[in-house]
């Protein structure tokens, strides 16, 4: 790679805000917050990025996704408020 052309690609720790699960990966994103991550050579300090949703909390990956029955919702609305004629 040519020097001074590409962004700095370095190890970063991402933490899920909902579950608290953390994972180490490489990214170009930076942060002022740091976290100590255990390595075989001892703990190292890496930038910490807090994310709202990751595979640890996303409904598709956790298996908690629901299929909404649109027809059932319409019927529920009509039962609750009736069918008005204009």
Closest listed residue to residue 48, CA positions, set 72, 19, 27, 63: 27
**pLDDT band at residue 6 under the 50/70/90 scheme:** confident
- pLDDT single digits (tens) 23-75: 999 999 999 999 999 999 999 999 999 998 888 887 776 777 666 666 677 78
Domain ranges of the chain: 10-80
CA distance 60 to 35: 28
């Amino acid at each position: 790679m040519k020097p001074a052309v590409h962004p700095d690609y370095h190890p970063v720790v991402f933490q899920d805000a909902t579950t608290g699960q953390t994972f180490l990966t490489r990214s170009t994103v930076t942060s002022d917050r740091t976290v100590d991550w255990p390595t075989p050579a001892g703990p190292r300090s890496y930038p910490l990025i807090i994310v709202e949703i990751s595979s640890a909390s996303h409904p598709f990956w956790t298996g908690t996704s629901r299929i909404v029955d649109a027809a059932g919702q319409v019927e529920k609305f009509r039962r609750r408020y009736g069918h008005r004629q204009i």
